[in-house]
Amino acid sequence: MNSKIFATRVKQYESILNEHIGNKTTWIENDWFLIEPLNENDSEISIRFLFDEIRVGIGMVTESYSDKYAGLEFEKGFEKFLKLISTKIKREDLYKGKYPYKSHYTFENNGVYELFGTAMTFEFRFWKKLIKKTNIQKAIIESELIMETLNVIK
């Protein structure tokens, strides 16, 4: 896989998304595609090609996919991206006082939330009261719609 093949494939996704969603989509250079949230409580979803890897992310958390890693091949990276844009995403922010120090990102998979990743800062006020805030982000696009359209493209 190279960046041109990656960009061609993601541009197919972009054309489908631009027809059916209200979110703003952005390309940063030629290798980073970003879907911006509709409101400040939701998280951005991205896919990028960097150092011969596909990196899929929610907010600041990313997973890397490459043919160099057994079980995490390029195709699985595209599958994860499609899964993330077509399911609910739950973000649980943890605060110590008013200071956010950790966020857990999970996505819905067959009715159960699976952990995608955790973003954390190491400085936190341990003596302050723990506050949890949870936000559930709706799916950006219906999975049937994107899969149906992609099958027509193939």
Amino acid at 106: T
Of 33-47, 97-111, 118-132, 137-151, the range with the lowest mean pLDDT is 137-151
Tens digits of residue pLDDT in 31-81: 888 888 888 888 888 899 888 889 999 988 999 888 877 666 888 888 898
Walk across the sheet containing 130-137 and list its strands. 112-120, 99-109, 89-96, 130-137
The two three-digit tokens of residue 153, written as one number? 């493209």
pTM for the model stands at: 0.83
The two three-digit tokens of residue 105, written as one number? 């990102």
